[in-house]
Amino acid sequence: MDERTAEAETTVPVPSFAQIFEQHTPFLWRALTNLGIPKHEVQDLCQEIMITVHRRLPSFDGMSLRGWLYGICVRVASDYRRSARVRREIVSESPPDEASSSDLVEFIDRGREVRLLLDALTQLDEPKRVAFVLFEIEELTLAEVSEAVGAPLQTVYSRIKAAREQMQRAFESRTSPYPKKGGAIEAR
């Protein structure tokens, strides 16, 4: 059975604004980061998302809450990227500043991988980046991604496939920026 049909049949009551905030904000925050929003702007944009959610919640049709929320998230991020203030920003900056692990090496390793991912994501065009982030990182269904970006399923499907191929190529070409032990690379 198609996921969208299944979801429509099991439509649940629309949650309150507070519930939405509690359950979805951390993931929307993460999505903003992966969509290229600089760390210092994420909180403001999250607030912008919540303001929009609050304003439009009464008109939400109750179909796919995640698709609807991420749709707002994608539009807010897209508006930000188009705005004048972002023109001189660098999309991928330092890795997130705190991790649950207390191990410094693991923290740095994870930061390195995230940095690689963000660097590779910046090479994608916006529709592909959005499709990849929503499907692979946020784990939305195809139908939810389709709703979030307002594109047909087949378009979303093609974008994800193309984004994957491009990302894989990027990772294969630069596996690790560090040579194996013993390799001599001089500093700048």
Partner 1 sequence: MKQDDGAWQLERLSAAEAPELCRAVDAAKQQLPNARELAALAASLPLQGLPLATSGASRRDLAAPTRSGRYWLVVGSAVFGAIVICVALVRLPVATSSTASSHVSGAPADPRRPAVGGSAMAVPGAPPTSVNRGALELTPSMPESAANDASAAAPGPSLAASGSAPEAAVVTNAAVPRPAASVARSLASPRTSQSPAGSAQGASLGAGTKVQPSEVELLRDARLALRSSPALALGLTEQHGALYPRGTMVQERELIAISALALLGRHAAVLSRAQRFEHDFPGSPYRKQIAQIAE
Nearer to partner 1 among residue 86 and residue 99 (C-beta): 99
50 binds partner 1 (CB under 8 A): yes
How far apart are alpha carbons 86 and 146 in whole angstroms?
A: 26
The CA distances from residue 85 to 70, 72, 171, in Å, are 23, 20, 30
φ, ψ for residue 87, nearest 5 deg? -60, -35
For residues 123 to 162, the per-residue mask of contacts with partner 1, x marking binding by CB under 8 A and - elsewhere, is ------------xxx-x--x---x-----xxx--x--xx-
Binding segment for partner 1 among 69-77, 79-87, 122-130, 171-179 (CB under 8 A)?
171-179
Contacts of residue 15, defined as CB under 8 A and 6 or more positions apart, other chains included, come to: 23, 65
Site residues for partner 1, 24-43, by CB under 8 A, read 25-27, 29-30, 33-34, 42-43
For residues 71 to 90, the per-residue mask of contacts with partner 1, x marking binding by CB under 8 A and - elsewhere, is --------------------
